[in-house]
Amino acid sequence: MDISTDIRYLKGVGEKRAELFSKLGINSLGDILEYYPRMYEDWSKAKKISETVVGETSCVKGFITHTPTKALIKKGMTIYKTGVCDGEEVMDLTIFNNRFAAEALKEGEEYVFFGKVGGNLYKREMTNPAFSVAEGGERIRPIYSSSQALSTKIIEKTVRTAIDNIKETLNETLPDRIRSEYKLASLIFSLENVHFPQSEKNLEVARRRLIFEELFILQLGLLLLRSRSKKITTNRIEFDKTEEFCSFLPFTMTGAQSRAVREAVEDMKKDVPMNRLVQGDVGSGKTAVAAAIIYNAAKNGFQSALMAPTEILATQHYHTLEKFFENTDINVALLTGSVRKKQKDEIKEKLKNGEIDLLVGTHAIIQDDVEFYNLGLAVTDEQHRFGVAQRGSLSKKGEEPHLLVMSATPIPRTLALMIYGDLDVSILDELPPGRQKIDTFYVDYEKHERAMNYVKKHLDRGLQGYIVCPLVESEESELVSATQIYENFKNNEFKNYTVGLLHGKMKPKEKDEVMKKFADGETQLLIATTVIEVGVDVPNAVIMVIENAEMFGLSQLHQLRGRVGRGKEKSTCILVSDAQNDDAKTRLNVMCKTSDGFKIADEDLKLRGPGDFFGSRQHGLPKMKIANLLNDMKTLKEAQAEAKKVLADDPRLRKKENEFLRKAVINLYEKMKD
């Protein structure tokens, strides 16, 4: 057996249980070894009964005083009673409805019990505690994320069997040199002790090694992905056409925009492909930057593609870019899932023979049957919503195309460099001139009506607005749902206005229609969920009310707020919340005070903790099993430095000593696919 062995061949598993494991993402022995405990229970330090505290969870060791006596309370309800003696005192033990547990307890034998202590000052008791025979039972126990059908006990047993089966043959992933340099424990020791720690110290040593390994393999993987595209590219820029493009623009680029374009053009003059991230707060003008770079590409004879994560965004980019290129000879086309077959075929034909210079679209553009004439520049917007693998699929449509990534997520710079490896970064830290600060207010529901009147005042002046709600439907929750608010407003409060509804459960086509009506000014007020969070750009929309604002994260509020303040009119954002807890109040007040996305992201990290920030795979990386990208920053740096060193010496991991590193990286790529 080795780590690739299917778990169903493990003793005690079989077909049925294998299926249950599969639901937890566990298919092979390697998977279960990496299914690390969610937490631990320390059964190694049993207390004297007299030392336990009523109400606290404790571990007690003692003899069973007599075979549990059975009493039937009512039909189907059995209760067993016995006592536990630790040599000094006796604790009452009650077991409800569990014949197996009761029968397992033998008079005169010693057990350890783990559970909440009840009773009073004179007499302690435990009800339905977990227990185990004392011999071998006094240890730190792993607790796993379990499912109804797969208890943490079963998982523990399976892990035990897996480790026992693999012990002799398991290959050490990390070369000896690295292990001794960073003082890392062996793989088998670490696996044993992360699942069945012999002591707290051992657990710490085990974790350190596993965290290092996880981050190290991740960095190796990312660096290797990158070096693959460090081949020679033929898509070289010879003529800088930025100035020419700027003459078509209705505005002057900001200093930051010009710098970003210049940096990209410099990259593209070289014969290795560009790999650049343009990071800018909402409204900083990333699309214009992309347009300038795309223009350069087209004028130097190669095609570009721009991929956005949603249909709304792709459509919007298409319209914006078409407008930018209005007076030029650049041909732009849009390809999404809802483009009709006939039109699709036409686009594909033109793309193949080079008549289209820029293809904008959703992931529809990485489908197999989409062929380019000569794709030289691949742009992805809001990268963090795509997996690393999808990024790769787009570049495979061309021969070593340049890569440009646009992101509005204000990840602190050092962290961005860590996550993206040696990706070059341009930061748009300057907003276009004349942009007004968005006035932000935080009010409670008593002032809701006044807020609504304020909205009407704007609509009466021919301006538009948004009302944002956290959920689409709310059966049990008290939160007002978008659909409810919509029905209510349309028929009452705003019956003299045109109101639209936009939420994530609508079909892409319906969403596009709603957005189009709003962009055209046909709809005055748009009730929406967070689907409008990214990229929607309607300059005439100047007021936004966010309902139950406490339900949103700070960065999310900031992204939402960025939908207004896109024109010349003064814009307002009203956060409505009845939240009573201080945390929420602090957050909402931060929003009123600052409009700097990076500052807000920092506050968000402080208030919510990194778990939330990185928990949702926002960055398109595989889910970490044991490491935490923020808390384990020091290890992350070490791992990155070491990964570079290893690859400098052995660029394709072909050396014998790196054989198992190579396998681990391939394994990681497999996981990145799903």
597 contacts Mg ion (rule: CB under 5 A): no
- What residue 280 binds from Mg ion, ligand ADP, none (CB within 5 to 8 A, per partner kind)? ligand ADP
The C-alpha atoms of residue 473 and residue 479 are separated, in whole angstroms, by 9
What minimum distance in Å lies between the beta carbon of 460 and ligand ADP? Answer: 24
The interface region with Mg ion, picked from 171-179, 217-225, 527-535, 587-595 by CB under 5 A, is: 527-535
Torsion of CA 321, 322, 327, 329, to 10 degrees: 100
The C-alpha atoms of residue 253 and residue 325 are separated, in whole angstroms, by 16
User: How buried is residue 502: exposed, middle or buried, by Cβ count under 10 Å (0-12/13-18/19+)?
Assistant: buried
Size of the site for Mg ion (CB under 5 A): 2
Torsion of CA 396, 397, 403, 405, to 10 degrees: -100
Three-state DSSP class for residue 326: coil
Q: How many CB atoms lie within 10 A of CB 74?
A: 6
**180 vs 252, beta carbon nearer ligand ADP:** 252
**37 vs 535, beta carbon nearer Mg ion:** 535
Edge-to-edge order in the sheet of strand 464-468: 439-443, 572-576, 541-546, 464-468, 525-528, 499-502
Q: Which helix (H) or strand (E) holds 545?
A: strand 541-546
- Tell me, rounded to whole angstroms, the distance of Cα 332 from its chain centroid: 32
**32 vs 428, beta carbon nearer ligand ADP:** 428
284 contacts ligand ADP (rule: CB under 6 A): yes
| E strand intervals along 281-321 | 303-307
**301 vs 432, beta carbon nearer ligand ADP:** 432
Is the Cα torsion angle 9, 10, 15, 20 positive or negative in sign?
A: negative
Residues within window 528-547 making contact with ligand ADP, judged by CB under 6 A: 537, 539
The C-alpha atoms of residue 495 and residue 41 are separated, in whole angstroms, by 59
Q: How many CB atoms lie within 10 A of CB 134?
A: 17
Q: Give the x-and-dash track for 203-242 against ligand ADP (CB under 6 A).
A: ----------------------------------------
Q: Give the x-and-dash track for 384-423 against ligand ADP (CB under 6 A).
A: ----------------------------------------
Q: Which residue in the set 282, 297, 330, 588 belongs to the binding site for ligand ADP (CB under 6 A)? A: 282
- What residue 541 binds from ligand ADP, Mg ion, none (CB within 5 to 8 A, per partner kind)? none
What minimum distance in Å lies between the beta carbon of 283 and ligand ADP? Answer: 5
DSSP-assigned beta bridge partners for residue 316 = none
597 contacts ligand ADP (rule: CB under 6 A): no
User: How buried is residue 53: exposed, middle or buried, by Cβ count under 10 Å (0-12/13-18/19+)?
Assistant: exposed
Q: Which helix (H) or strand (E) holds 660?
A: helix 659-673
Q: Which residue in the set 82, 190, 202, 254 belongs to the binding site for ligand ADP (CB under 6 A)? A: 254
DSSP 245-286: HHTT-SSPPPHHHHHHHHHHHHHHHSSS--EEEEEE-TTS-H
What minimum distance in Å lies between the beta carbon of 317 and Mg ion? Answer: 7
280 contacts ligand ADP (rule: CB under 6 A): yes
What minimum distance in Å lies between the beta carbon of 594 and ligand ADP? Answer: 18
Size of the site for ligand ADP (CB under 6 A): 17
The C-alpha atoms of residue 447 and residue 287 are separated, in whole angstroms, by 38
**284 vs 658, beta carbon nearer ligand ADP:** 284
Q: Which residue in the set 52, 152, 242, 287 belongs to the binding site for ligand ADP (CB under 6 A)? A: 287
Q: Is beta strand 77-85 parallel, antiparallel or unpaired with respect to 57-64?
A: antiparallel
Q: Is beta strand 110-119 parallel, antiparallel or unpaired with respect to 130-133?
A: antiparallel
The C-alpha atoms of residue 200 and residue 211 are separated, in whole angstroms, by 16
What minimum distance in Å lies between the beta carbon of 552 and ligand ADP? Answer: 18
**216 vs 324, beta carbon nearer Mg ion:** 324
- What residue 105 binds from Mg ion, ligand ADP, none (CB within 5 to 8 A, per partner kind)? none
Closest C-alpha among 155, 117, 130, 128 to residue 41: 130
What minimum distance in Å lies between the beta carbon of 322 and ligand ADP? Answer: 13
- What residue 283 binds from Mg ion, ligand ADP, none (CB within 5 to 8 A, per partner kind)? ligand ADP
**291 vs 459, beta carbon nearer ligand ADP:** 291
Three-state DSSP class for residue 166: helix
**280 vs 421, beta carbon nearer ligand ADP:** 280
- What residue 179 binds from Mg ion, ligand ADP, none (CB within 5 to 8 A, per partner kind)? none
**430 vs 650, beta carbon nearer ligand ADP:** 430
> What is the 3-state secondary structure of 79-143?
EEEEEEECCCCEEEEEEECCHHHHHHCCCCCEEEEEEEEEECCCCEEEECCEEEECCCCCCEEEE
**CA dist 533 → 253, 468, 560 (Å):** 25, 10, 5
What minimum distance in Å lies between the beta carbon of 361 and ligand ADP? Answer: 17
Residue nearest to ligand ADP (CB): 285
Q: Which residue in the set 142, 197, 285, 565 belongs to the binding site for ligand ADP (CB under 6 A)? A: 285
**287 vs 328, beta carbon nearer Mg ion:** 287
Residues within window 275-334 making contact with Mg ion, judged by CB under 5 A: 287
What minimum distance in Å lies between the beta carbon of 278 and ligand ADP? Answer: 9
The C-alpha atoms of residue 102 and residue 80 are separated, in whole angstroms, by 7
Residues within window 548-577 making contact with ligand ADP, judged by CB under 6 A: 566
Q: Which residue in the set 273, 283, 398, 535 belongs to the binding site for Mg ion (CB under 5 A)? A: 535
The interface region with ligand ADP, picked from 129-137, 251-259, 344-352, 524-532 by CB under 6 A, is: 251-259
What minimum distance in Å lies between the beta carbon of 358 and ligand ADP? Answer: 16
Q: Residue numbers of the site for Mg ion (CB under 5 A)? A: 287, 535
Q: Residue numbers of the site for ligand ADP (CB under 6 A)? A: 251-254, 257, 280, 282-288, 432, 537, 539, 566
